Chains A and B, each alone.
Chain A
């Protein structure tokens, strides 16, 4: 019980590779710009790279290409990038906090809660502006998460990964059933289904103006608390042994998760698996220090979503394949692999 700090950390083997992390951030940023450029240039109207570059720098509304780029494609790709970062960071925080390798806002009831809240908005107040929609989906995500964690901590064995995942499945089933019931009754099912299946097609500047600052502030707070998160990921007792005020840390981090997941769902609907996959890949690459995991997850999540959205948009043109499906296709084998491994350790 009287271990020193260094001993505790050594026992739990925090290892990190800052060099790899730096390379990911730098290379990821270049890759993000390149994939956004690619995403903007392909589609119904093919636009070449110099034109893209030119219209971003000197926007001229009289040119058609510029209008397509600036009013349709650019916001869409920015939306994809910001949402990917939000999902990935919220997944990383949840996995670290709960020490549950299967944690993800989609599996733990947050997305279902936010979707139910959205169904209510569509059903009862069609004239709601985007700010209201976003606030309501925060509340919905909070209700979902509250139910899952409340249930997990009520049960005798405590919050084991399997319990939390099962509680998440039950809460998701309940909340999405309620949402479906509302959608069927008010006959707005197909509108909502596209939202639920996930799509960034309708993103506009108004939404971005609201969501980008929210997500960036969320990620910054996450980075500020990343040292505490690393310690928390060794387990509650270790963290307390090191003198951490775990309750405060948990409240802050949980709030960040709700804000990130809620904002992302309000923009693109429930996309599972980004939050699950990305942190695992990043941990594999940069180690177990969340000061690196969080920024790298954000970068990785952005690139993944932009690429997935581009693929979803072009694979079956002119139809839009919901990007959630593309992500699920990549994510499911990954989930199965993790579940098969038994999810025994996080490091």
Chain B
């Protein structure tokens, strides 16, 4: 770690924060009922009219925070998976974890109503259960005794399982009534539906607890990214650390998709971009990846919201339209 690298990390981080703020201002300033930058500034320092306060604090800010937090959660989740599997193409969406969470969301909607207040807190737990179960199946299916998890098989099993779970979700959802169905379809497509402070509150604890823990585990991730034997050699309890990290990754992904909808590819792209900017050391690239994840999802949601006003296009679709070609590019280059 020399001075130029530290400088580079610092500059990148500051640039990412400035970019995030810029997207934030653009997000507030565009779309239906928008605020100009001056109005925004006036409202933030407490001088806004009632209308401006309403737009900013009740409509825009909650949704913006959900987008940023979910983007961060997905990005860090993807970063963990990529390091653990030593596979640069891993991402909670591609590995089927989102699909597992999604299936449980439909199951929830089938048996409970969408409107009760407990919905908000119970739904993430349902999503978490689905994500965890899927991850467990993928892990068991791709584990070889004595060799650990085989990365290629992991991705194959994940892709297959994702296809199957998605099929099951669609199947169940054809039996929902119109209103529940429409919620479901939007959820799958990744429309950020949590646009209330309550959703920010239900997602926030997951993010502010799990992301710092992950960053604290940077050195473990650095060594796990090397060969298994190296990790054992330097005294890392590989089996236990790997399980803990997988659970953190699944928890971050499930909590994020529970309030934001099924969003793929953020977890794939953000860590890649971050790694290419600041290098592969986790201490440096995890925070940058989180920031980029927030920027990506907020930008996608803003684009989706403004395009085709007023119904908009779900953020998940925008992310996929950008992300899938990026994935293809990685695939072709690798």
Contacts and interface: CB of A to CB of B under 8 A. Distances in A.
Contact of A322 (B159, B171, B178, B316): B171
Interface stretch (B33-41, B184-192, B230-238, B250-258): B184-192
A239 interface: no
Given A193-B173, A319-B175, A107 B331 contact: no
A328 B164 CA distance: 6
Contacts of A106: 163
B314 interface: yes
A340 B324 contact: no
Interface in A38-57: none
B107 interface: no
A2 interface: no
Nearest to A270: B167
Given A189-B185, A339-B156, A169 B320 contact: no
B188 A180 contact: yes
B122 interface: no
Interface in A176-208: 177-178, 180-181, 183-185, 189-190, 193-194, 196-197
B320 A335 contact: no
A325 interface: yes
B316 to A, nearest CB: 7
Given A171-B328, A185-B313, A325-B167, A180 B189 contact: yes
B317 A181 contact: yes
A162 B155 contact: yes
Interface residues of B, number: 48
Interface in A198-257: none
Given A184-B189, A190-B185, A177 B317 contact: yes
B170 A167 contact: no
Interface string A155-181: 111000011011101111110011011
Most buried by A among B89, B163, B175, B188: B163
Contact of B168 (A163, A183, A328): A328
Interface in B289-334: 308, 311, 313-314, 316-317, 320-321, 324-325, 327-328, 331-334
B313 A174 contact: no
A339 B157 contact: yes
Contacts of A85: none
Contacts of A155: 331-334
Contact of A170 (B153, B182, B317, B324): B324
Contacts of B193: none
B327 A107 contact: no
B2 interface: no
B110 to A, nearest CB: 13
Nearest to B181: A190
B168 A189 contact: no
A167 B159 CA distance: 11
Interface in A324-340: 324-325, 328-329, 331-332, 335-336, 339-340
B316 A177 contact: yes
A325 B164 CA distance: 8
B324 A174 contact: yes
A170 B175 contact: no
Contacts of B211: none
B47 interface: no
A167 B89 CA distance: 11
A61 interface: no
B71 to A, nearest CB: 17
A325 B175 CA distance: 13
A342 interface: yes
A117 B142 CA distance: 35
A185 B189 contact: no
A321 interface: yes
Contact of B331 (A151, A194, A332): A151
Contacts of B182: 189
A272 interface: yes
Given A107-B163, A174-B324, A181-B189, A162 B156 contact: yes
B160 interface: yes
Interface string B123-150: 0000000000000000001100000000
Interface in B246-301: 264-265
A268 interface: no
Contacts of A145: none
Nearest to A172: B163
Contacts of A196: 170
A166 B151 CA distance: 13
A274 to B, nearest CB: 12
B174 interface: yes
Interface in B153-211: 153, 155-157, 159-164, 167-168, 170-171, 173-175, 178, 181-182, 185-186, 188-189
User: Which 4 A/B pairs are nearest by Cβ-Cβ distance?
Assistant: A174-B324, A325-B171, A177-B320, A332-B164
Interface of B: 89, 93-94, 141-142, 152-153, 155-157, 159-164, 167-168, 170-171, 173-175, 178, 181-182, 185-186, 188-189, 264-265, 308, 311, 313-314, 316-317, 320-321, 324-325, 327-328, 331-334
23 contacts: A102-B156, A157-B334, A166-B331, A170-B331, A171-B324, A174-B324, A177-B317, A180-B189, A180-B317, A184-B311, A185-B308, A194-B174, A197-B171, A272-B167, A319-B175, A324-B171, A325-B167, A325-B171, A329-B168, A339-B141, A339-B153, A339-B156, A342-B153
Given A184-B317, A324-B167, 11 more contacts: A156-B334, A162-B156, A170-B327, A184-B186, A190-B181, A193-B181, A196-B170, A197-B170, A336-B157, A336-B160, A342-B153
